[in-house]
Protein backbone atom coordinates (compact mmCIF):
# COMPACT_ATOMS: atom_id res chain seq x y z
CA UNK A 1 0.00 0.00 0.00
CA UNK A 2 1.22 3.52 -0.77
CA UNK A 3 2.04 5.74 2.19
CA UNK A 4 -0.60 8.28 3.18
CA UNK A 5 0.35 11.43 1.29
CA UNK A 6 0.55 14.44 3.62
CA UNK A 7 2.99 16.56 1.63
CA UNK A 8 0.62 18.60 -0.53
CA UNK A 9 2.70 21.76 -0.01
CA UNK A 10 5.56 20.02 -1.82
CA UNK A 11 3.41 19.02 -4.75
CA UNK A 12 -0.15 17.92 -5.52
CA UNK A 13 -1.34 15.10 -7.74
CA UNK A 14 -2.94 16.21 -10.99
CA UNK A 15 -6.71 16.18 -10.49
CA UNK A 16 -8.23 13.58 -12.87
CA UNK A 17 -10.58 16.29 -14.16
CA UNK A 18 -7.52 18.36 -15.05
CA UNK A 19 -5.78 15.45 -16.74
CA UNK A 20 -8.79 14.65 -18.88
CA UNK A 21 -8.93 18.16 -20.40
CA UNK A 22 -5.17 18.11 -21.00
CA UNK A 23 -4.98 14.80 -22.85
CA UNK A 24 -6.38 15.83 -26.27
CA UNK A 25 -3.75 18.57 -26.45
CA UNK A 26 -1.02 15.92 -26.51
CA UNK A 27 -2.63 14.10 -29.43
CA UNK A 28 -5.29 15.25 -31.87
CA UNK A 29 -5.16 18.92 -30.73
CA UNK A 30 -1.38 19.14 -30.90
CA UNK A 31 -1.12 22.50 -32.68
CA UNK A 32 1.32 25.29 -31.93
CA UNK A 33 -0.51 28.26 -30.40
CA UNK A 34 1.63 30.59 -32.55
CA UNK A 35 0.63 28.96 -35.86
CA UNK A 36 -1.71 31.62 -37.16
CA UNK A 37 -2.15 30.12 -40.64
CA UNK A 38 -4.34 27.08 -39.91
CA UNK A 39 -6.94 25.57 -37.64
CA UNK A 40 -4.47 23.45 -35.63
CA UNK A 41 -2.86 26.65 -34.39
CA UNK A 42 -6.16 28.46 -33.89
CA UNK A 43 -7.46 25.64 -31.72
CA UNK A 44 -4.35 25.69 -29.56
CA UNK A 45 -4.48 29.48 -29.26
CA UNK A 46 -8.14 29.37 -28.24
CA UNK A 47 -7.28 26.84 -25.52
CA UNK A 48 -4.46 29.05 -24.23
CA UNK A 49 -6.74 32.11 -24.27
CA UNK A 50 -9.34 30.20 -22.24
CA UNK A 51 -6.70 29.10 -19.72
CA UNK A 52 -5.50 32.70 -19.40
CA UNK A 53 -9.01 33.76 -18.44
CA UNK A 54 -9.33 30.86 -15.98
CA UNK A 55 -6.11 31.93 -14.23
CA UNK A 56 -7.19 35.57 -14.26
CA UNK A 57 -10.52 34.71 -12.65
CA UNK A 58 -8.83 32.92 -9.77
CA UNK A 59 -6.80 36.01 -8.85
CA UNK A 60 -9.23 38.76 -9.85
CA UNK A 61 -7.11 40.12 -12.72
CA UNK A 62 -7.66 40.69 -16.40
CA UNK A 63 -6.55 37.94 -18.80
CA UNK A 64 -4.22 40.40 -20.52
CA UNK A 65 -2.23 40.64 -17.29
CA UNK A 66 -1.40 36.90 -17.13
CA UNK A 67 1.83 35.47 -18.63
CA UNK A 68 2.52 31.74 -18.81
CA UNK A 69 5.84 30.17 -17.84
CA UNK A 70 7.31 27.00 -16.31
CA UNK A 71 6.38 27.62 -12.68
CA UNK A 72 7.07 29.79 -9.69
CA UNK A 73 10.85 29.57 -9.63
CA UNK A 74 10.92 31.00 -13.13
CA UNK A 75 8.21 33.53 -12.32
CA UNK A 76 10.14 34.78 -9.29
CA UNK A 77 13.39 35.03 -11.26
CA UNK A 78 11.60 36.85 -14.08
CA UNK A 79 9.93 39.44 -11.86
CA UNK A 80 12.86 40.15 -9.54
CA UNK A 81 15.65 40.16 -12.13
CA UNK A 82 13.43 41.77 -14.74
CA UNK A 83 12.44 44.63 -12.44
CA UNK A 84 16.04 45.11 -11.30
CA UNK A 85 17.13 45.43 -14.93
CA UNK A 86 14.27 47.62 -16.09
CA UNK A 87 14.03 50.05 -13.17
CA UNK A 88 17.70 51.00 -12.69
CA UNK A 89 16.96 54.68 -13.16
CA UNK A 90 14.39 54.59 -10.36
CA UNK A 91 16.67 52.88 -7.85
CA UNK A 92 18.35 49.70 -6.72
CA UNK A 93 16.76 49.05 -3.33
CA UNK A 94 14.61 45.98 -2.69
CA UNK A 95 12.79 44.77 0.42
CA UNK A 96 12.12 41.16 1.32
CA UNK A 97 11.45 38.99 4.38
CA UNK A 98 13.33 36.31 6.25
CA UNK A 99 10.77 33.59 5.54
CA UNK A 100 10.67 33.84 1.74
CA UNK A 101 11.17 30.70 -0.34
CA UNK A 102 14.73 29.99 -1.54
CA UNK A 103 13.68 30.96 -5.05
CA UNK A 104 13.23 34.54 -3.77
CA UNK A 105 16.12 34.51 -1.29
CA UNK A 106 18.66 33.10 -3.73
CA UNK A 107 17.55 35.46 -6.51
CA UNK A 108 18.07 38.43 -4.21
CA UNK A 109 21.52 37.05 -3.27
CA UNK A 110 22.35 37.01 -6.99
CA UNK A 111 21.01 40.55 -7.45
CA UNK A 112 23.07 41.78 -4.49
CA UNK A 113 26.18 40.74 -6.41
CA UNK A 114 24.89 42.72 -9.38
CA UNK A 115 24.58 45.90 -7.29
CA UNK A 116 21.15 45.65 -5.68
CA UNK A 117 20.69 46.75 -2.09
CA UNK A 118 18.42 44.29 -0.35
CA UNK A 119 16.82 44.81 3.05
CA UNK A 120 15.69 41.55 4.66
CA UNK A 121 13.02 42.22 7.29
CA UNK A 122 12.84 39.69 10.14
CA UNK A 123 9.70 37.82 11.12
CA UNK A 124 8.60 37.31 14.73
CA UNK A 125 8.30 34.06 16.70
CA UNK A 126 4.76 33.58 15.37
CA UNK A 127 6.00 33.80 11.79
CA UNK A 128 4.43 37.21 11.33
CA UNK A 129 5.78 40.39 9.79
CA UNK A 130 5.53 43.87 11.29
CA UNK A 131 4.03 46.51 9.01
CA UNK A 132 6.00 49.29 10.76
CA UNK A 133 9.21 47.61 9.64
CA UNK A 134 8.09 48.07 6.04
CA UNK A 135 7.39 51.78 6.46
CA UNK A 136 10.84 52.18 8.00
CA UNK A 137 12.65 50.17 5.34
CA UNK A 138 11.25 52.05 2.34
CA UNK A 139 13.48 54.81 0.98
CA UNK A 140 13.59 56.96 -2.16
CA UNK A 141 15.50 54.25 -4.04
CA UNK A 142 13.10 51.40 -3.19
CA UNK A 143 11.84 49.78 -6.37
CA UNK A 144 10.08 46.63 -5.17
CA UNK A 145 8.97 44.79 -2.05
CA UNK A 146 8.58 41.02 -2.11
CA UNK A 147 6.39 39.29 0.47
CA UNK A 148 4.91 35.84 0.04
CA UNK A 149 1.15 35.48 0.42
CA UNK A 150 1.49 32.43 2.67
CA UNK A 151 4.51 30.54 3.92
CA UNK A 152 5.09 27.06 2.50
CA UNK A 153 6.54 25.62 5.72
CA UNK A 154 4.27 27.01 8.44
CA UNK A 155 1.28 28.10 6.38
CA UNK A 156 1.37 31.53 8.05
CA UNK A 157 -0.59 34.03 5.94
CA UNK A 158 0.77 37.54 5.56
CA UNK A 159 -1.33 40.76 5.58
CA UNK A 160 -1.11 41.27 1.85
CA UNK A 161 -3.79 43.94 1.58
CA UNK A 162 -2.16 46.15 4.21
CA UNK A 163 1.23 45.71 2.55
CA UNK A 164 -0.30 46.67 -0.79
CA UNK A 165 -1.62 49.91 0.70
CA UNK A 166 1.78 50.86 2.10
CA UNK A 167 3.50 50.07 -1.20
CA UNK A 168 0.96 52.02 -3.23
CA UNK A 169 1.34 55.07 -0.99
CA UNK A 170 5.12 54.88 -1.38
CA UNK A 171 5.19 54.16 -5.11
CA UNK A 172 6.87 50.79 -4.56
CA UNK A 173 6.00 47.72 -6.67
CA UNK A 174 4.55 44.95 -4.49
CA UNK A 175 5.40 41.44 -5.66
CA UNK A 176 3.98 38.38 -3.91
CA UNK A 177 4.87 34.72 -4.29
CA UNK A 178 1.36 33.26 -4.17
CA UNK A 179 2.48 29.69 -4.87
CA UNK A 180 1.03 28.28 -1.65
CA UNK A 181 -1.88 30.68 -1.33
CA UNK A 182 -3.47 29.94 -4.69
CA UNK A 183 -6.45 27.67 -4.28
CA UNK A 184 -6.21 27.82 -0.48
CA UNK A 185 -7.17 31.42 0.30
CA UNK A 186 -8.94 34.14 -1.64
CA UNK A 187 -6.58 36.10 -3.87
CA UNK A 188 -7.67 39.42 -5.29
CA UNK A 189 -5.06 41.51 -7.04
CA UNK A 190 -7.46 44.48 -7.21
CA UNK A 191 -6.60 45.25 -3.60
CA UNK A 192 -3.42 43.18 -3.47
CA UNK A 193 -0.01 42.83 -5.09
CA UNK A 194 1.04 44.45 -8.37
CA UNK A 195 2.74 41.23 -9.47
CA UNK A 196 2.45 37.64 -8.35
CA UNK A 197 3.41 34.09 -9.24
CA UNK A 198 1.49 30.83 -9.14
CA UNK A 199 2.50 27.27 -9.96
CA UNK A 200 0.47 24.48 -11.56
CA UNK A 201 1.74 21.62 -9.44
CA UNK A 202 0.59 23.20 -6.18
CA UNK A 203 -3.02 23.49 -7.35
CA UNK A 204 -3.65 19.98 -8.76
CA UNK A 205 -2.32 20.98 -12.16
CA UNK A 206 0.80 19.74 -13.96
CA UNK A 207 4.42 20.37 -13.00
CA UNK A 208 6.37 22.70 -15.26
CA UNK A 209 3.49 25.14 -15.75
CA UNK A 210 2.95 28.43 -13.99
CA UNK A 211 1.81 31.98 -14.48
CA UNK A 212 2.83 35.49 -13.54
CA UNK A 213 0.40 38.35 -13.06
CA UNK A 214 1.72 41.81 -13.94
CA UNK A 215 -0.54 44.81 -13.27
CA UNK A 216 -1.19 46.72 -16.47
CA UNK A 217 -1.91 50.11 -15.02
CA UNK A 218 -1.63 52.10 -11.85
CA UNK A 219 1.14 51.07 -11.59
CA UNK A 220 2.14 49.44 -14.86
CA UNK A 221 4.62 46.69 -13.99
CA UNK A 222 7.04 45.99 -16.79
CA UNK A 223 10.04 43.75 -16.03
CA UNK A 224 12.65 43.08 -18.68
CA UNK A 225 12.35 39.65 -20.32
CA UNK A 226 14.49 36.83 -18.97
CA UNK A 227 14.13 34.62 -22.05
CA UNK A 228 14.36 36.08 -25.54
CA UNK A 229 13.26 34.40 -28.74
CA UNK A 230 10.11 34.35 -30.81
CA UNK A 231 8.28 37.10 -28.92
CA UNK A 232 5.76 34.84 -27.22
CA UNK A 233 3.79 36.17 -24.26
CA UNK A 234 4.13 39.74 -25.55
CA UNK A 235 7.90 39.20 -25.82
CA UNK A 236 8.17 38.81 -22.05
CA UNK A 237 8.65 35.03 -22.14
CA UNK A 238 9.66 33.61 -25.47
CA UNK A 239 9.40 29.93 -26.29
CA UNK A 240 6.69 27.74 -27.79
CA UNK A 241 3.82 27.53 -25.34
CA UNK A 242 3.32 24.22 -23.52
CA UNK A 243 -0.33 24.00 -24.53
CA UNK A 244 -1.35 20.81 -22.65
CA UNK A 245 0.22 22.08 -19.44
CA UNK A 246 -1.32 25.53 -19.83
CA UNK A 247 -4.74 23.96 -20.46
CA UNK A 248 -4.23 21.92 -17.28
CA UNK A 249 -3.17 24.95 -15.27
CA UNK A 250 -6.26 26.83 -16.45
CA UNK A 251 -8.60 23.98 -15.55
CA UNK A 252 -6.88 23.56 -12.17
CA UNK A 253 -7.42 27.27 -11.46
CA UNK A 254 -11.08 27.02 -12.39
CA UNK A 255 -11.60 24.06 -10.06
CA UNK A 256 -9.69 25.89 -7.32
CA UNK A 257 -11.96 28.92 -7.71
CA UNK A 258 -15.15 26.86 -7.59
CA UNK A 259 -14.17 24.35 -4.92
CA UNK A 260 -11.81 26.31 -2.69
CA UNK A 261 -14.26 27.13 0.08
CA UNK A 262 -15.65 23.62 0.45
CA UNK A 263 -12.16 22.08 0.20
CA UNK A 264 -10.84 24.41 2.88
CA UNK A 265 -13.71 23.67 5.25
CA UNK A 266 -13.31 19.91 4.93
CA UNK A 267 -9.51 19.94 5.12
CA UNK A 268 -9.49 22.21 8.18
CA UNK A 269 -11.49 19.66 10.18
CA UNK A 270 -9.03 16.91 9.28
CA UNK A 271 -5.98 19.10 9.94
CA UNK A 272 -7.34 20.10 13.34
CA UNK A 273 -8.00 16.49 14.25
CA UNK A 274 -4.37 15.59 13.58
CA UNK A 275 -3.15 18.75 15.28
CA UNK A 276 -5.22 18.15 18.43
CA UNK A 277 -3.94 14.59 18.65
CA UNK A 278 -0.28 15.60 18.40
CA UNK A 279 -0.75 18.44 20.87
CA UNK A 280 -2.34 16.09 23.34
CA UNK A 281 -0.22 12.96 22.96
CA UNK A 282 3.18 14.51 22.18
CA UNK A 283 2.81 17.95 23.83
CA UNK A 284 3.25 19.26 20.32
CA UNK A 285 3.78 22.98 19.83
CA UNK A 286 2.48 24.39 16.55
CA UNK A 287 4.98 26.59 14.74
CA UNK A 288 2.92 29.62 13.75
CA UNK A 289 0.16 28.93 16.27
CA UNK A 290 -2.12 31.95 16.87
CA UNK A 291 -1.27 33.34 13.44
CA UNK A 292 -3.62 33.23 10.47
CA UNK A 293 -2.61 29.95 8.82
CA UNK A 294 -3.45 27.95 5.72
CA UNK A 295 -6.08 25.41 6.70
CA UNK A 296 -4.12 22.50 5.21
CA UNK A 297 -0.75 23.05 6.90
CA UNK A 298 0.48 21.76 10.24
CA UNK A 299 4.06 22.55 11.20
CA UNK A 300 4.55 21.17 14.67
CA UNK A 301 7.39 20.61 17.09
CA UNK A 302 7.39 17.36 19.05
CA UNK A 303 9.61 18.14 22.03
CA UNK A 304 12.32 15.52 22.60
CA UNK A 305 11.62 13.65 19.36
CA UNK A 306 14.04 13.84 16.45
CA UNK A 307 12.05 14.39 13.26
CA UNK A 308 14.49 12.13 11.36
CA UNK A 309 13.57 9.31 13.75
CA UNK A 310 9.87 9.95 13.26
CA UNK A 311 10.40 10.01 9.51
CA UNK A 312 12.17 6.65 9.49
CA UNK A 313 9.58 5.10 11.83
CA UNK A 314 6.48 6.36 10.05
CA UNK A 315 7.17 4.64 6.76
CA UNK A 316 3.48 4.62 5.92
CA UNK A 317 3.18 8.41 5.94
CA UNK A 318 4.73 10.85 3.45
CA UNK A 319 5.54 14.17 5.17
CA UNK A 320 8.34 16.74 5.55
CA UNK A 321 10.69 17.68 8.36
CA UNK A 322 11.98 21.03 9.62
CA UNK A 323 15.38 20.71 8.02
CA UNK A 324 16.64 20.67 4.48
CA UNK A 325 18.32 17.42 3.49
CA UNK A 326 20.18 19.00 0.58
CA UNK A 327 23.56 18.64 2.29
CA UNK A 328 25.27 15.84 4.18
CA UNK A 329 24.53 17.63 7.43
CA UNK A 330 20.87 18.69 7.41
CA UNK A 331 20.47 22.44 7.82
CA UNK A 332 17.70 23.66 10.10
CA UNK A 333 14.89 25.32 8.16
CA UNK A 334 15.63 29.01 7.54
CA UNK A 335 11.96 29.78 8.23
CA UNK A 336 11.94 28.11 11.65
CA UNK A 337 15.31 29.67 12.49
CA UNK A 338 13.93 33.10 11.53
CA UNK A 339 11.07 32.43 13.99
CA UNK A 340 13.67 31.97 16.71
CA UNK A 341 13.61 28.17 16.99
CA UNK A 342 16.88 26.61 18.10
CA UNK A 343 18.54 23.94 15.92
CA UNK A 344 17.16 21.25 18.23
CA UNK A 345 13.66 22.68 17.98
CA UNK A 346 13.90 22.74 14.19
CA UNK A 347 15.16 19.16 14.17
CA UNK A 348 12.09 18.20 16.23
CA UNK A 349 9.66 19.88 13.85
CA UNK A 350 7.65 18.20 11.14
CA UNK A 351 5.27 19.45 8.46
CA UNK A 352 2.07 17.70 7.51
CA UNK A 353 0.23 19.29 4.62
CA UNK A 354 -3.17 17.96 3.64
CA UNK A 355 -5.08 18.37 0.41
CA UNK A 356 -8.11 17.77 -1.75
CA UNK A 357 -7.76 13.99 -1.70
CA UNK A 358 -6.98 13.56 2.01
CA UNK A 359 -9.63 11.41 3.69
CA UNK A 360 -10.73 11.00 7.28
CA UNK A 361 -9.62 7.38 7.06
CA UNK A 362 -6.12 8.47 6.11
CA UNK A 363 -5.90 10.83 9.08
CA UNK A 364 -7.14 8.01 11.35
CA UNK A 365 -4.41 5.78 10.00
CA UNK A 366 -1.72 8.45 10.55
CA UNK A 367 -2.96 8.88 14.12
CA UNK A 368 -2.71 5.09 14.63
CA UNK A 369 0.85 5.11 13.29
CA UNK A 370 1.74 7.94 15.65
CA UNK A 371 0.20 5.99 18.56
CA UNK A 372 2.33 2.95 17.67
CA UNK A 373 5.41 5.15 17.45
CA UNK A 374 4.68 6.57 20.90
CA UNK A 375 4.20 3.12 22.43
CA UNK A 376 7.52 1.89 21.01
CA UNK A 377 9.60 4.89 21.99
| Binding positions for ligand PLP, rule: CB under 6 A | 71-73, 101, 103, 148, 152, 177, 179-180, 199, 210
126 vs 207, beta carbon nearer ligand PLP:
207
Q: Measuring CA to CA, which residue among 114, 115, 96 is closest to residue 104?
A: 96
Q: How far is the CB of 277 from ligand PLP (least distance, A)?
A: 26
**Residue 34 CA, distance from chain mean position:** 29
166, 190, 198, 139: which is closest to 12 by C-alpha?
198
Beta bridge partners of 117: 93
Of all residues in the shown chain, the one whose CB is closest to ligand PLP is 71
Output the smallest distance, CB 154 to ligand PLP, in A: 11
User: From the CB of 216, what's the least distance to ligand PLP, in Å?
Assistant: 24
Q: Which is nearer to ligand PLP, 206 or 284 (CB)?
A: 206
C-beta closer to ligand PLP: residue 152 or 358: 152
Q: Is the peptide bond before 14 cis (omega within 30 degrees of 0)?
A: no
DSSP 262-274: HHHHHHHHHHHHH
Residue closer to ligand PLP by CB (options 120, 367) is 120
- Smallest distance, Å, CB 214 to ligand PLP? 17
Helix runs in the chain, H state only: 16-22, 39-59, 72-86, 102-113, 131-137, 160-170, 243-282, 307-313, 334-338, 343-347, 360-376
Closest to ligand PLP by CB, 83 vs 138, is 83
Looking at the Cβ atoms of 103 and 310, the one nearer to ligand PLP is 103
Q: How far apart are CA 145 and CA 166, in angstroms?
A: 10
**Shortest reach from residue 199's CB to ligand PLP, in Å:** 3
| Backbone region of residue 132 per phi and psi (left: phi > 0; alpha: psi in -120 to 50; beta: other values) | alpha
Q: Which of 327, 356, 343, 171 is nearest to 255 (CA)?
A: 356
Cα 178 to Cα 151: distance, rounded to the nearest angstrom:
9
CA neighbor of 103 nearest in space, from 60, 158, 133, 146: 146
For residue 117, the surrounding DSSP H or E stretch is: strand 117-121
Task: Supply the minimum distance, in Å, between the C-beta of residue 145 and ligand PLP.
Answer: 16
Q: Is 253 a catalytic residue?
A: no
Q: Per the residue annotation, which of 147, 167, 253, 325 is the catalytic one?
A: 325
Catalytic residue ranges: 325
Amino acid sequence: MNPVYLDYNATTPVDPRVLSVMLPYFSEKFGNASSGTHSYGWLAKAAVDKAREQVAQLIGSDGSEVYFNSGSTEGINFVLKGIFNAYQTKGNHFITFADEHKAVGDTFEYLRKRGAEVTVIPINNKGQINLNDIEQAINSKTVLLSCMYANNETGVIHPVQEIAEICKKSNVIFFSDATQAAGKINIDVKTGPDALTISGHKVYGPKGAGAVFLRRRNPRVMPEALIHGGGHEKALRSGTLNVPAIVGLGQACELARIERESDVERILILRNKLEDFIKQEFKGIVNGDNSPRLSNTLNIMLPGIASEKLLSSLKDVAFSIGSACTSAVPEPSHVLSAMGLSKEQSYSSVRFSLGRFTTEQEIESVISSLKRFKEKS
